[in-house]
Structure 1
Amino acid sequence: MRFPFAILGLAAALAACTGDGTPPPAAVSAVPVQRGGALLDRVIGQTAPALTSLFGAPVADIREGPARKLQYGNATCVLDAYLYPKGRAEPTVSYVDARQPDGSPIDRASCVGALQVGRKH
């Protein structure tokens, strides 16, 4: 029974080799973490007029009591921005959710960036 495990271990060790003795390159992130945070900071804490200035008119504006959901979308993604009041102040974005038009997941910051493409700031 030890023989199959020895073969698997050897196969795993050989798979890690690049052939020239150098280790495989480290994985590189495609989107810097700081940039994603900066893009989300453009939305979180903003008012409805600020979002309209950033993205244009929403495709949906849903109100339920004091809460409001503004939805923006294009061919790349759909962004839901949830606005809630704090005391007597104007409601601001507390949370955002994003998805591709087919419902598949997408990074929220990437969606914010995609919605801004082609818009003047």
Structure 2
Amino acid sequence: MKALAAILFGGALVAGCSGSVIPGARPGGGMEVTPTESTAGLEKVIGHDARSLEKLFGTPDADQTEGMGRKLQFGSDICVLDAYLYPPRGGGVPVVAHVDARQRNGAPIDRASCVAALTRRGGGR
């Protein structure tokens, strides 16, 4: 009897999951992106184009394009910053939508602190 109850309960759980909606999902399969990290201190970077980044940090250490996305990487003795640029929804010049930062040894570092450190490097090497 307990086995039958467990089977029925498990079946009910699976059935309840079959019609669930993923939070942030939109009709047509697209996902709505909701920022989960603070962008405080990133105003000089988020929403700016590649030309603005080069004026701020100098020549990127790496420049990679994949599909519609582009990654510019800037480094200093303190940290490495990866800026990910994508075209706006209506089209136009790609702008920074996300940044990642890490110390030279791979350890985490606050993104805004890395931006500040790179800005102090004097616009490149």
Deviations 1:26-63 (A, max 9, x none): xxxxxxxxxx82x3011000000000000000000000
Which of the two has higher C-alpha Rg? 1
Deviations 1:58-92 (A, max 9, x none): 00000001100000001100000000011321000
User: Deviation above 3 Å: which 4+ runs of structure 1?
Assistant: none
1-structure distance, mates of 2:121, 2:76: 12
- Kindly indicate whether residue 103 of structure 2 is the aligned counterpart of residue 114 of structure 1: no
Matches within 5 A, 1:26-37: 37=40
Matches within 5 A, 1:91-110: 91-110=94-113
Seen in structure 2, the aligned counterparts of structure 1 residues 55 and 99 have a Cα distance that, compared at 3 Å, is same
Aligned-residue CA RMSD (Å): 1.3
1-structure distance, mates of 2:95, 2:44: 12
The TM-score normalised by the length of structure 2 is: 0.64
The TM-score normalised by the length of structure 1 is: 0.66
Q: How many residue pairs end up in the alignment?
A: 84
How far off is 1:118 after superposition?
Answer: 4.1
Aligned pair partner of 1:65 in 64, 67, 73 = 67
Structure 2: 5+ residue runs without aligned partners? 1-38
Matches within 5 A, 1:1-121: 37=40, 39-86=41-88, 87-119=90-122
In proportion to residue count, which structure has more helix? 1
Structure 1: 5+ residue runs without aligned partners? 1-35
- Aligned identity (percent) is 56
2-structure distance, mates of 1:118, 1:72: 11
